Structure 1
Amino acid sequence: MSKQLVLHSLSKKYNKSEKFANKNINLTFFSGEISTITGHNGAGKTTMLNQVIGITKPSKGSITFNGKSFVTESKVAREYVSMMPQLHAPLNGVTMSQSIRSILRIRGLSEKEVKKETTKILKELAINDWKDTPGQKLSGGLRRLTSFAMTVAYPAPILLLDEPTNDVDPIRRQIIWKHLRKLAKSGHIIIVVTHNLLEVEKYADRYILMNNGKVLEDKRLQERSLESSRLNKLVVNFSSEEEALCVKLPKSLNHTYNSEEVAHEFDIEAEEMVAGIFWLMQMIEEKKVVNYSFSPKSLNETYGEMINGDDEE
Structure 2
Amino acid sequence: MIEIKGDNKDLIINAVSKSYKRGTVRANCDISVALHPGQIVAIIGHNGAGKSTLLNQIIGIVKPDQGQIDYNGISFIDNTKYARSLVSMMPQLYAPLAGVTLRQSIESILHIRGISGKKNKELCKEILDELKIEKWADRPGEKLSGGLQRLASFAMAVVYPSPILLLDEPTNDVDPVRRKLIWNYMRKLARNGHILVVVTHNLLEVEQYADRFLLLNHGKLIQDELTVGEHKQISSNTLFVVMNDWDALSNLPESLETRYIEEEMQVIFNLSAEQVPDAIAWVLKQIHERKVVNYRLTSATLEASYGGLTDGNE
The counterpart of 1:25, out of the listed 27, 31, 46, is: 31
Counterpart contact for 2:68–2:75, Cα < 8 Å? yes
The counterpart of 2:114, out of the listed 98, 108, 114, is: 108
The counterpart of 1:58, out of the listed 41, 59, 64, is: 64
**Pair 1:173–1:106, CA change in 2 (3 A):** same
Q: TM-score, normalised by structure 2?
A: 0.83
Q: 3-state SS of the aligned residue for 1:93?
A: coil
Counterpart contact for 1:84–1:147, Cα < 8 Å? yes
Matches within 5 A, 1:274-285: 274=277
Q: How far off its partner does 1:166 sit?
A: 0.5
| Alpha-carbon separation, structure 1, partners of 2:189 and 2:85 | 17
Q: How far off its partner does 1:72 sit?
A: 1.5
**Pair 1:11–1:134, CA change in 2 (3 A):** same
1:149 aligns with 2:161: no
Q: 3-state SS of the aligned residue for 2:122?
A: helix
Q: 3-state SS of the aligned residue for 1:208?
A: strand
**Pair 1:13–1:272, CA change in 2 (3 A):** closer
In the other structure, the counterpart of 1:308 is: 311
Kindly provide the amino acid, as one letter, of the partner of residue 10 in structure 1.
Answer: V
Kindly provide the amino acid, as one letter, of the partner of residue 59 in structure 1.
Answer: D
Give per-residue Cα distances to partners, 1:208-251, cap 9 Å, x unaligned.
0112221111111138974456x4224467xxx9xx569x9996
In the other structure, the counterpart of 1:294 is: 297
The counterpart of 1:168, out of the listed 163, 174, 181, is: 174
**Pair 1:73–1:20, CA change in 2 (3 A):** same
In the other structure, the counterpart of 1:159 is: 165
Q: Decide which moves more: 202-211 or 1-10.
A: 1-10
| Alpha-carbon separation, structure 1, partners of 2:220 and 2:252 | 35
**Pair 1:283–1:308, CA change in 2 (3 A):** closer
| Alpha-carbon separation, structure 2, partners of 1:61 and 1:103 | 32
Q: 3-state SS of the aligned residue for 1:175?
A: helix
Give per-residue Cα distances to partners, 1:112-153, cap 9 Å, x unaligned.
111010000000011111000111110000000000000000
Give per-residue Cα distances to partners, 1:40-63, cap 9 Å, x unaligned.
211111111111111112222221
Q: TM-score, normalised by structure 1?
A: 0.83
In the other structure, the counterpart of 1:232 is: 237
Instruction: Give the paired residue count.
Output: 303
Kindly provide the amino acid, as one letter, of the partner of residue 165 in structure 2.
Answer: L
| Alpha-carbon separation, structure 1, partners of 2:204 and 2:44 | 12
Identity among equivalent positions (%) equals 50
Q: How far off its partner does 1:11 sit?
A: 2.0
| Alpha-carbon separation, structure 1, partners of 2:71 and 2:59 | 12
Q: How far off its partner does 1:156 sit?
A: 0.6
Matches within 5 A, 1:216-231: 216-222=222-228, 226-227=232-233, 231=236
Give per-residue Cα distances to partners, 1:186-224, cap 9 Å, x unaligned.
000000011111111111111101122211111111389
Q: How far off its partner does 1:2 sit?
A: 7.5
Stretches of structure 2 lacking an aligned partner (at least 5 in a row): 1-6
In the other structure, the counterpart of 2:101 is: 95
In the other structure, the counterpart of 1:48 is: 54
Q: 3-state SS of the aligned residue for 1:180?
A: helix
Kindly provide the amino acid, as one letter, of the partner of residue 157 in structure 1.
Answer: P
1:270 aligns with 2:269: no
Counterpart contact for 2:225–2:234, Cα < 8 Å? no
Aligned-pair Cα RMSD in Å: 3.3
| Alpha-carbon separation, structure 2, partners of 1:176 and 1:47 | 23
Counterpart contact for 1:235–1:266, Cα < 8 Å? yes
**Pair 1:211–1:281, CA change in 2 (3 A):** closer
The counterpart of 1:74, out of the listed 66, 74, 80, is: 80
Q: How far off its partner does 1:266 sit?
A: 5.1
| Alpha-carbon separation, structure 2, partners of 1:138 and 1:214 | 37
Q: How far off its partner does 1:68 sit?
A: 2.2
